[in-house]
Amino acid sequence: MNLLEVSKQAFVIAFLLYCVAFCFYVVTITGKTWKNRDPKQHERKWGKISFVTTLLGLLSHLVYVATRWAWSGHIPVSNMYEFMTFLSLMIIVAFTIVYLIYRKELVGLFALPLAIVVMAYAAVFPRDVQPLIPSLRSIWLYIHVTLAAAGDAFFAVGFIAGLMCLLRTIDFKGTDKSARRQKLWLEITFYSIIIVVGFIVSVFAFRASGYEAVFTQSAEATEQSSGTKEVYNLPPIVAPYESQLESADSFLGMSKPLVEVPSWFKGVNAGRKSNTIVWALITGTLLYGVLRLVLRKPLSEALAPALKGMDADDLDEISYRAIAIGFPVFTLGALVFAMIWAQQAWGRFWGWDPKEVWALITWLFYSVYLHLRLSRGFHGRKASWLAVLGFLVVMFTLVGVNLIIAGLHSYAGTD
């Protein structure tokens, strides 16, 4: 077995161990209410088991990074699969640091699912080891990307703690305008998360079925000397601009796309990416609807009782500390060192590339968060909403820019 195979196996093992660790955290939190159980002793025992399982998953995750690095000759962050996998690793590292400081098992109940979803999202993308283009063959790749991912990971932990704080403090029985608005936006946040899960489910489901549709796009549309082929692995609802459908597998009687991507939607595989977004919305909405039917209440309201014994002030403090740690790390990785590398690679410090712009927006947002926190006394619910909104900005920077906006930092699309 070569190093690449070892890397693939380590990835799967890490994913499974994180899933098992999540189940153990569920037992840790819910088991405290079991009869004939000492709550403190139960939480101490199962909390230790959960954390050790998480560390075993982290160890396997590090084996994935080391073996893939040794096989490829460069740190595995050069495409979307590698970067999102590395981001999930850093989320676990950030959670581990926060857990060792605060010893709050409940944070694992939310941190592990986020890392699992990010890993599953990573697996949607092509997993081939690709050689680095000349501009990426630099020590700054190691410094810039790893520090940026570490900063994002601490923002993720801040988001988790902020979301938990909102679940703990929002009055779900309240009927006044403010309470209804708070509940609505919290549910929209959970719906957004389910959309990402829906994206993963739809891609894996159709990939398992072997679905394929092939389009030929005209030379005028692609601005090339000859037309190009675009292969879909999801049933085509949105077709590429000025294209012809060559072949498509049958799915629920669909014989042709419903709409064509607009001409102004530029970028590599713009039609396929648009189609993927539509399917994510469809699958995510259906999945959200099923969960609502099963739970018979909003997702946020169903999760809130799990945090009943948690101190909201502790959650608010964890969120702030995580973001305070992540901010300088992100500043160095995503801005300072990124600009130095840009100067070496492209001869300019700043070029208004979409990823550069959104990295700056992310930095400005968290600058405002820290300013309001330190000088205006934003605590509790207000600060938690900012932590949640900030991470949504982070995810758009990492995911939305790559899928929607073409630029120098765009990674490969889905299979």
pLDDT at 35: 54
Say what the pLDDT of residue 63 is: 94
Q: In angstroms, what is the C-alpha Rg of the chain? A: 22
**Which residue type occupies 326?**
G
Among 388, 177, 172, smallest CA distance to 297 is for 172
Tens of pLDDT along 199-215?
888 888 888 888 888 88
Q: What is the pLDDT of residues 37-48, one digit of tens each?
A: 666 777 778 888
- For 293, left (φ over 0), alpha (ψ -120 to 50), or beta? alpha
Q: What is the pLDDT of residue 204?
A: 85
103 pLDDT more than 90: no
DSSP tag of 135:
G
pLDDT at 126 over 90: no
What dihedral do alpha carbons 198, 199, 202, 206 form, nearest 10°? Answer: -170
For residues 151-155, average pLDDT: 92
Answer whether residue 198 shows pLDDT above 80. yes
Q: What is the mean pLDDT of the chain?
A: 83
- Exposure string over 229-261, b if 16+ CB within 10 A, otherwise e: ebebbbbbbbbbbbbebeebeeeeeeeebeebb
The DSSP element (H or E) to which 228 belongs, if any, is strand 228-232
More confident residue, 301 or 129: 301
Residue 415: pLDDT above 60?
Answer: no
Distance CA 351, CA 339 (A): 10
For residue 398, give the DSSP letter. Answer: I
- DSSP for 64-79, written as a single string: HHHHHHHHHSS-S-SS
8-state DSSP, 132: P
pLDDT above 70 covers a percentage of the chain that reads 89
**pLDDT value at position 219?**
60
Within 8 A by CB and 6+ apart from 296, the residues are none
* pTM of the full structure: 0.84
26-54 average pLDDT score: 76
